[in-house]
Structure 1
Amino acid sequence: MTQNDLRRMFSARAVRRSPWRAAAETFCLLCIAVLAVTPLAASSAPARRAAIIPIHGVIDTILAHTVERRLEDARRDGINVIIFEMNTPGGGVVPAVNICRMIKNLPKDTLTVAWVRPEALSAGAMISVACQKIYMSRASSIGDSAPIIALPTGPVELGPTERAKAESPVLQEYRDSASANGYDPLLCRAMVTLGESVWWVEKGVERRFVNDDEKKKLIDDVAEADRAWSLVTHFVDPISGARRELQQPIDGPTTLLTLSQSEAVAFGLASGLASNESELTEALNLAWEPKRLDVSGWETFVIWLNSPFVRGVLMAIALAGGYIEFNNPGLLVPGIVAFVALAVFVGAPYAAGLADAWTLVALVIGLLLLLIEVFVLPGFGIAGVTGLVLVGASLIGTFIPRTPGDPPFSLPDPNLLWNALQTGVLVMSSSTVAAGIGILFLMRFAPHLPGARRLVLATPSASMTPAALSSDRGAHVGDIGVLVTPLRPGGQARFGQRIVEVQGQGSFVDSGARVQVVAVEGSIVYVRPVEELV
């Protein structure tokens, strides 16, 4: 066999093996490509970055503003898993609905989780159901969402019509959340409204919740031999793994549905249990523990300043300080304290984003009218009355919260208006009474307190004459002087060689007119034109 024959033989064998070799090579290349692309695809998938936003305490408009701020911070940080740590007894319907809408308007690729730790009641339950998943901590509860009218004097009993009206927006929010996130609408409804029972029934492995009418059709009206459905009698406790007996109905016509952690998981409302951040991180399959976005120190301070008690104390200080300064001009300290207290009283709602711009405008106009009445116009007329009304309305108006996102000078939410007005009136009335008591206390005890004797006048003794009382004022009762400035109604008058600050008691008086001192009260010297006394 020649060399050429050998070449031809091996070439023929190579040709005969080439299809298998080609298939094997192709298969190997595909495997290598898959192994190479898989890590690349995994690395290109967006990482799940999580953050915890605590919602603790009573849910109000200020808390809703802090949630809005923290959600914006999460968005800027690229967070795509937002966990709301719920520990709240409830709160206002309007701020809770606003928070629900914030949650639902997050980007579609954002996973929202409610972590009930340890309670999400009333408005807290509504916010939890707005999230795509719910996790319960051990020894936690969720539910009890019936709306109530809570006034400063206590809750108000609602009639059937009022209750239906109050429940309507809450039920609508629950329906929308249940539909979007796959929660049972009957369970959600049972948290809000009375008069209905909820039963848990099963057929084989299928289980569902029904009301009285459905139970009647599925069980009560069907012969026992033909029944496909029956009441669930036991469920597995997710904590202990033991079978627990179930009381039926799970919610009666006179109660509001409130679920424990075990019931929430067994009924399918909650996705699981997590008592700490590590367990929650594992349950959500996160690469690392989430960061916390807490309420800032400034926000905590503003929340404290906006509490009705603190605002009441501020107003009482402003009223008492203003009264002391008015009756003792020149002391300065009471006036400065009153000004600062009033500024904080008015500024706190603006710092929290609550008060509308109209309250500030009304306050400025009211104060200007009062100044015009004191220094320009005689007596106490339309300008003074209008100024007092505007100042009072503006101060009470700072209790009416502004709806987040509304432009300035918008009408307030009617669901908040009446309650806010009652709170404002109650705080202002209580402050006035407290200021009066404080002033009486100072009048009674300040003369005997070191360093406080200048705040009020001491009670005159029998040996003190009117002249002695007014000698340090530069004028005595009965003295006659000449106005060196117009009296509107305040001004200056010359008594001999002394120029004294005086206060009129009637109409406007031009400079140069002769006036007589008719009374001296504290540092205030009251005068009237001599012609009026003839």
Structure 2
Amino acid sequence: MVLDGSVNPGTAHYLVSNIQSAPEEGYDLIIIQMNTPGGLDLAMRDIIREILASKIPVATYVFPPGSRAASAGTYILYASHISSMAPATNLGAATPVSIGGMPNPGSEDKEGDKEKQGAKKSPPATDSNQNAMHKKIINDAEAYLRGLAAYHGRNIDWVKNAVREGESLTSKEALEIGVIDLIAESPQQLLRDIHNRSVRLPSGKVTLDTADMSIVEVEPTWQMKLLSIISDPNIAYILLLVGIYGLIFEGYNPGTMVPGVIGAICLLLAFYALQILPINYVAAGLLVLGIALLVVEAFAPSFGILGVGGIIAFLFGSFMLFNEPETGVAIAIPILVGVTIISVILLSFVLTLAIQAKQQPVVSGREELLQEVGVVQHDFSGEGWIHICGERWKAHCDTPLHAGQQVKVVAVTDLELTVVPISGESSSGDTFS
């Protein structure tokens, strides 16, 4: 199996399902060829749980040369029954961080600390909470990696450097201090080197017999590749927004079809990704509320009040949607800023159109007839007929009117107009005495 890329729910599903099915399909050893920059904590732990529970040995191999097992990859390497690397590879940098690029909550400026001490002021409660959360995450990660190291009898002392200092090692350095078991030039050499090695399985210690083994590559299906892509929090977030905006645009222009179809597909893909990602439901509610306010602003303009509230709710909901410190899942700040800017531009565009539409005169309906000028068709007193706006209307007037005389509409009641004469003018421009 190949783990090439980030550790996410898609890759976790691919690895877990194959580890579970390997014994039933008659395999005696699983080799995970790994090259990863790290990934999601929950996905990593799913993989590790399955490795530790596997009925057959799992060998993780950082390959080809130039690859790495950074962050989550280091944990998986420690958890494997056989941990191996190719030359010119590296591992480490196991400090848990948010993938959204948030600043380290535990870092503080030393000069700022001195100023606070001189002023005899305690730090804000929010900073204390962040520092406490940061310490909890670091301590949990270190204890987890130490437990994996102890389980397989690997170097425990280096764990602190990897987690707290973000230290990395080359394959040669890792072998020298006992972080990995061996260095192999190729998968075939790996099989030869691990022959007769003893490993610890849930059923007890077993000795590997790899002399006559052949390697069968198991490629991920296209469904797993697709899941791996859309399960990235940033991709899932973008799909969610494209889906919602697509349906909104379809609502503005019914029958267009293209925005509605694209929106529905993106929305379903986003829902599929969200069901396997740890989301904050309060944040999801804020996100929905923000979009709803933007839609209401578009259909019933409040000249910015609902729109501004919608953007604020939308921004906070987006920021907190995946912002779970324990899992390291978050949306990248540039994407949040970009989406917010686009939403502001769209809102401004809608508000501009609404203001322009409100300032334009009425061109249809009953209001159009008010103050319009018509021409009397026949002499009448009380009720008669006039010609106005290219149509023949029944009109009422308190004063007698003459054929050809111009009148102005002052009221509209059902299908009858109330008019008053325009003194002394006819449709041809002749005046009457």
User: TM-score over 0.5 for the alignment?
Assistant: yes
Amino acid in the other structure paired with 1:415: E
Aligned 1:515-530 pairs, distance under 5 A: none
For residue 298 of structure 1, report the CA deviation from its aligned partner.
1.1
For residue 58 of structure 1, report the CA deviation from its aligned partner.
2.1
Identify the match of residue 7 of structure 2 among 40, 59, 63.
59
**TM-score, L = length of structure 1:** 0.48
Q: Deviations over 1:273-329 (max 9, x none)?
A: 212222222223422332223332112112223335544543454454444444434
**Would you say 1:305 and 2:216 are equivalent positions?**
no
Contact 2:16 2:46 in 1 (8 A): no
Q: Match for residue 521 of structure 1?
A: none
Q: Match for residue 415 of structure 1?
A: 326
Q: Match for residue 93 of structure 1?
A: 41
For residue 115 of structure 1, report the CA deviation from its aligned partner.
0.9
Contact 2:88 2:171 in 1 (8 A): yes
Secondary structure at the residue paired with 2:326? helix
Q: Match for residue 151 of structure 1?
A: 100
Q: Match for residue 376 of structure 2?
A: none
**Would you say 1:354 and 2:303 are equivalent positions?**
no
Inter-partner Cα distance in structure 2 for 1:184 and 1:330: 65
**Would you say 1:434 and 2:342 are equivalent positions?**
yes
For residue 128 of structure 1, report the CA deviation from its aligned partner.
0.6
Amino acid in the other structure paired with 1:100: I
Contact 1:277 1:289 in 2 (8 A): no
Aligned 1:328-367 pairs, distance under 5 A: 328-350=253-275, 353-354=276-277
Secondary structure at the residue paired with 1:113? strand
C-alpha spacing 1:184/1:330, structure 2 compared with 1 (3 Å): closer
Secondary structure at the residue paired with 1:282? helix
**Would you say 1:137 and 2:86 are equivalent positions?**
yes
Q: Match for residue 75 of structure 1?
A: 23
Greater relative contact order, per chain length (Cα 8 Å cut-off, separation 6+):
2
Inter-partner Cα distance in structure 2 for 1:356 and 1:320: 21
C-alpha spacing 1:61/1:302, structure 2 compared with 1 (3 Å): closer
Q: Match for residue 42 of structure 1?
A: none
Q: Match for residue 205 of structure 2?
A: none
C-alpha spacing 1:77/1:153, structure 2 compared with 1 (3 Å): same
For residue 127 of structure 1, report the CA deviation from its aligned partner.
1.2
Identify the match of residue 193 of structure 1 among 158, 164, 176.
164
Q: Deviations over 1:63-118 (max 9, x none)?
A: 323322221232331323122222112223343233222211222xx222221222
Aligned 1:446-525 pairs, distance under 5 A: 466-467=362-363, 470=364, 475=365, 477-478=367-368
**Would you say 1:102 and 2:57 are equivalent positions?**
no
Q: Match for residue 279 of structure 1?
A: 189
Contact 1:355 1:397 in 2 (8 A): no
For residue 178 of structure 1, report the CA deviation from its aligned partner.
2.0
C-alpha spacing 1:281/1:431, structure 2 compared with 1 (3 Å): same
Inter-partner Cα distance in structure 1 for 2:333 and 2:142: 31
Q: Match for residue 43 of structure 1?
A: none
Structure 1: runs of 5+ lacking an equivalent: 1-52, 195-255, 374-379, 402-412, 445-455, 481-495, 497-513, 516-534
Amino acid in the other structure paired with 2:267: L
Contact 1:134 1:272 in 2 (8 A): yes
For residue 436 of structure 1, report the CA deviation from its aligned partner.
5.6
**TM-score, L = length of structure 2:** 0.58
Inter-partner Cα distance in structure 1 for 2:35 and 2:269: 30
Structure 2: runs of 5+ lacking an equivalent: 109-130, 196-209, 297-301, 371-390, 392-413, 416-433
Q: Match for residue 143 of structure 2?
A: 172
For residue 330 of structure 1, report the CA deviation from its aligned partner.
4.3
Q: Match for residue 115 of structure 1?
A: 61
Secondary structure at the residue paired with 1:188? helix
**Would you say 1:128 and 2:80 are equivalent positions?**
no
Percent identity among equivalent residues? Answer: 19
Give the paired residue count: 318
Contact 1:93 1:170 in 2 (8 A): no
C-alpha spacing 1:316/1:278, structure 2 compared with 1 (3 Å): same
Tell me how large the CA RMSD over aligned residues is.
4.9
C-alpha spacing 1:439/1:105, structure 2 compared with 1 (3 Å): same
Inter-partner Cα distance in structure 2 for 1:190 and 1:334: 51
Contact 1:150 1:156 in 2 (8 A): no
Q: Deviations over 1:131-159 (max 9, x none)?
A: 12222201111223222344345555546
Inter-partner Cα distance in structure 2 for 1:356 and 1:310: 14
Amino acid in the other structure paired with 1:431: V
Identify the match of residue 269 of structure 1 among 150, 163, 179.
179
Contact 1:148 1:158 in 2 (8 A): no
